[in-house]
Amino acid sequence: MRLGVMGGTFDPIHHGHLVAASEVQSRFGLDEVVFVPTGQPWQKADEGVSPAEHRYLMTVIATASNPRFTVSRVDIDRHGPTYTIDTLRDLHSERPSDELLFITGADALAEILSWKDADRLFDLAHFVGVTRPGHLLTDKGLPEDRVTLMEVPAMAISSTDCRARVEAGHPVWYLVPDGVVQYISKYGLYAMPPEQVPTPAPPSAEAAVEAAGLLPQKETSASH
């Protein structure tokens, strides 16, 4: 199986993430794209990040209707800072015969040499860097045969902007999936500092999807 891996903090997940994953899935004929919310994103430690369970459940809700999209807890269930080298090793242990393609936006790809064990990352996965408005897409300094650059429809959306909009009382409809808008409102995310956001005993992923009225659609040639 060819497995796409879409890592992100997803605070919140938005349509830029979903379009990037969908485009790479289609172009590379991926059997599945697994979304992997970070546990503790060490490069965002100073910014304050929402509790992992909320980010995980928003990711489940956002991906539920696509039969090729799944969500993994490997990063949020591992203690300590999240490193992609561990993500890829864990996924490889779970699915040793799968070929892994790690999907990154242009901004993340530009930083990749600062990631832990950067030189070994390329042994574990092929990297697909996708265009993102406001960022230069380049593979300078990266191993040519392990990186592919790809243009995707421009979605000028960031989680930072979504959080700022909610805090200011502006809408995020159509920037994030409808179920995510409702989830943000239900739990009061981004209306208060992340450390004050209660982490409720989370419903299971299945219960969250059911509550949001989202069930996976049957795949047809016209869908996804």
Check residue 17 for interaction with ligand ATP (CB under 6 A). yes
Determine the size of the site formed for ligand ATP (CB under 6 A): 18
Task: Tell me, rounded to whole angstroms, the distance of Cα 43 from its chain centroid.
Answer: 16
Q: 134 or 169: whose CB is closer to ligand NCN?
A: 134
Among 100, 125, 130, 189, interactor with ligand ATP by CB under 6 A: 130
Counting every residue written for the chain, the total comes to: 224
Check residue 25 for interaction with ligand ATP (CB under 6 A). no
Among 105, 110, 137, 190, interactor with ligand ATP by CB under 6 A: 105
Dihedral pair phi/psi, residue 207, rounded to 5°: -65, -35
In the range 30-89, which residues lie near ligand ATP by CB under 6 A?
none
In the range 20-79, which residues lie near ligand NCN by CB under 6 A?
36, 38, 41, 43-44
Per-residue buried b or exposed e for 67-92, using 16+ beta carbons within 10 Å of the residue's own CB: ebbbbbebbbeeeeebbbebbbebbe
The reply to whether omega before 12 is within 30° of 0 (cis) is: yes
In the range 125-154, which residues lie near ligand NCN by CB under 6 A?
none
Q: Which stretch binds ligand ATP (CB under 6 A): 6-14, 56-64, 78-86, 212-220?
A: 6-14
54, interface contact from ligand NCN, ligand ATP, none, CB < 5-8 Å by kind = none
Question: 114: which DSSP letter?
Answer: G
In the range 74-103, which residues lie near ligand NCN by CB under 6 A?
82-85
DSSP states along 84-100 = HHHHHHHHHHHSTTPEE
**Environment class of 140 (CB within 10 Å of its CB; exposed 0-12, middle 13-18, buried 19+):** exposed
**Cα–Cα nearest to 165, from 177, 154, 181:** 181
Among 9, 59, 66, 84, interactor with ligand ATP by CB under 6 A: 9
Q: 22 or 84: whose CB is closer to ligand NCN?
A: 84
CB of 31 to ligand ATP, least distance (A): 21
Do 98 and 2 touch, CB atoms closer than 8 A? yes
User: Where along the sequence are the contacts to ligand ATP (CB under 6 A)?
Assistant: 8-11, 16-17, 20, 104-105, 107-108, 130, 132, 155, 157-160
